[in-house]
Amino acid sequence: MPLAAYAARDDNCRGRRHPEPPPGDRTQHQRDRDRIIHCGAFRRLEYKTQVFVNHEGDMFRTRLTHTLEVAQICRSLARSLGLNEALAEAISLAHDLGHTPFGHAGQDALNACMTPHGGFEHNVQSLRTVDVLEQRYPGFPGINLTFETREGILKHCTRDIAAKLGDVGERFLNGGQPTLEAQLTNLADEIAYNSHDLDDGLRAGMLSFELLCEESASFRDHYDAVRRDFGSLPGRVGQHEIIRRIIKAQIADLRGTSAARLAAAGVGSLQDVRSATGPLIAFSDAMRADNDQLKALLNRRVYQHYRVRRMTSRARRVVTDLFGAFLNDPLLLPPDTLERVEQREAQRGLRGRARAVADYVAGMTDRYALAQHAALFGSVPNP
Ligand code: MG
């Protein structure tokens, strides 16, 4: 399918922070995607928690498999809307690179530690990872991605932070929208986590068909339809069939609603997308309401489940202890990290020291953080 007039393309690409010759054998955004896959932060996603920690079982999503599911959903949607598939994929693959170990619990703990020093936000950290922290090229820091991929990674940020980020921060100060590919990634992320957390919640025994049919009208509709089509299916296959239909219904709704909004707004170019008053990629009101209901249910039954909360509480302790120990005594750090901490401290004082320690802790995988904690404080028993 040819690219639509409102897609991001090489000829309307705003370029890279550090000028480079154009890629010869691939597009600008294909080059971005390839660089992301080869970076260290991407590989570490394999050992970072999505919702369930690794030791709960081998079948649960990790931050890496979540990322791959987002990329798959986003690519399909991009293709069907005539958007730039490589850009959609690049943003998806990079969207969680800045996540701390232990999922949102780790991020909240690190943010609390960093409150006196400028705060910590995983979304901003994802951008920082590709702009600064990955060191792979002799000529520049980071992996020097295009403007479009970088603005897509920066899903939201405060005005204070936006003011320090230059061109990618401008839309948070002056209004304006990012590319449709970026807007798509946000909602592909939501489709992925809602559906895979249902799947993982069922697998973990925190959810059941009975409970879901009682608490979610849309789940009950899909459940009834599967029963009508197949009679009684074995639990696991039935579960996959229902979740497949949930994903399909969300994708179809998002594609149909977004195509209608683009047509109604008369959007004919990337410039029209950028100057629109709000996002053009959206769910219908009915699907938005279903999703919000599902999200509330997952929060109640899965994210607040005592087994998840035990992990959360332990994560908070591990992250807080590590941050405090390294901030108070940087000599506990390995030499290359110590060097970075000292450099940052020389430039920005205690704030710089804290930021470099936060970069180190945020980059850890779950198991690396646990091993560091055990080395410094003695082991923390499993919950
Ligand atoms: Mg995500």
- Which tens digit of pLDDT belongs to each residue from 50-78? 887 666 777 788 899 999 999 999 999 99
pLDDT in tens, 265-278: 999 999 999 999 99
Residue 377 has pLDDT above 60, yes or no: yes
Residue 37 has pLDDT above 80, yes or no: yes
**What are 308's two structure tokens?**
């998840």
149: burial class by Cβ within 10 Å (0-12, 13-18, 19+)? Answer: buried
Q: How far is the CA of 175 from the centre of ligand 1 (A)?
A: 24
Least confident of 49-53, 242-246, 360-364: 49-53
Q: How far is the CA of 333 from the centre of ligand 1 (A)?
A: 30
pLDDT at 55: 63
Question: Average pLDDT for residues 97-113, to the nearest whole number?
Answer: 94
pLDDT at 347: 96
Judged by DSSP in three states, 201 sits in helix
Q: Which amino acid is at 42?
A: F
Q: How far is the CA of 125 from the centre of ligand 1 (A)?
A: 13
Contact 157, 35 (CB under 8 A): no
In which band, very low, low, confident or very high, does the pLDDT at 383 lie, cut at 50, 70 and 90? very low
pTM value is: 0.95
Beta-carbon neighbour count of residue 112 at 10 Å?
A: 15
The most confident of the ranges 57-61, 226-230, 257-261 is: 257-261
Question: Average pLDDT for residues 80-88, to the nearest whole number?
Answer: 98
Whose tokens are 């991605």? That residue is 145
Q: How far is the CA of 66 from the centre of ligand 1 (A)?
A: 7
Q: Mean pLDDT for the chain?
A: 94
Where do the structural domains in the chain lie, given as residue ranges? 10-205+296-307
| % of residues, the chain, pLDDT over 70 | 97
Phi and psi torsions of 146, nearest 5°: -70, 160
Q: What is the DSSP string of 96-145?
A: TTTPPTTHHHHHHHHHHHHGGGT---HHHHHHHIIIII-B--SSSSB---
Contact 43, 121 (CB under 8 A): no
Q: How far is the CA of 269 from the centre of ligand 1 (A)?
A: 28
Q: How far is the CA of 126 from the centre of ligand 1 (A)?
A: 11
pLDDT in tens, 179-215: 999 999 999 999 999 999 999 999 989 999 999 999 9
Question: Average pLDDT for residues 2-30, to the nearest whole number?
Answer: 94
Provide CATH code, domain 10-205+296-307: 1.10.3210.10
Q: How far is the CA of 167 from the centre of ligand 1 (A)?
A: 24
pLDDT at 59: 78
| % of residues, the chain, pLDDT over 90 | 87
Q: How far is the CA of 64 from the centre of ligand 1 (A)?
A: 10
Whose CA is closest to 204, among 296, 275, 301? 301
Q: How far is the CA of 92 from the centre of ligand 1 (A)?
A: 8
pLDDT at 382: 55
